[in-house]
């Protein structure tokens, strides 16, 4: 694989030996193995997670995760489960965003009106505020 940085190449070399969900490498085990190669600049699970996402989104490597850890997707069934998880996660995030907007939009509009009213008064009251 071209254009991989050294950390990506190390992680990919390790995970290549873990094909299929049943052969997943545990997250902590992966961190430990990567850090054997990077003793002067150790990584944590967060850095591994970010790198896994980059390997998938930027390099097109089909990496799955499960309770057992990370693995290279091998079957159509594994691919379906991995993509179903991401779709569900994305929809949950969109639902949360929608709720936040609906719940707080009235509050924010009220704040904007108050702020606008103050600006009008500070400018000498020459302008009428919106909604009056």
pLDDT at position 14 is: 97
Rounded Cα gap, residues 46 and 31, in angstroms = 10
Where does 37-86 show beta strands of DSSP type E? 63-66, 69-72
Nearest to 56 by CA among 11, 89, 24: 11
pLDDT digits (tens, 9 = 90+) for 36-80: 988 888 999 999 999 999 999 999 999 999 999 999 999 999 999
Which residues, 6 or more positions from 54, have their beta carbon under 8 angstroms from its beta carbon?
A: 8
Domain layout of the chain by residue ranges? 6-74, 76-126
CATH of 6-74, one of 3.40.50.2300, 1.25.50.10, 1.10.10.10, 3.40.50.720: 1.10.10.10
The pTM for the full model equals: 0.70
């Amino acid at each position: 694989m071209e254009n991989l940085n050294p950390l990506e190449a190390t992680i990919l070399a390790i995970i290549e030996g873990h094909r299929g969900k049943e052969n997943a490498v545990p997250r902590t085990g992966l961190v430990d193995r990567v850090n054997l190669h990077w003793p002067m600049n150790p990584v944590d699970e967060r850095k591994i997670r970010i790198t896994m996402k980059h390997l998938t989104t930027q390099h097109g490597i089909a990496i799955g995760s499960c309770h057992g850890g990370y693995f290279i997707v091998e079957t159509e069934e594994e691919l379906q489960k991995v993509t179903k998880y991401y779709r569900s996660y994305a929809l949950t995030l969109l639902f949360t965003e929608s709720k936040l907007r609906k719940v707080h939009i009235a509050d924010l509009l009220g704040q904007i009106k108050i702020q606008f009213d103050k600006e009008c008064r500070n400018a000498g009251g020459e302008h009428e505020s919106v909604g009056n």
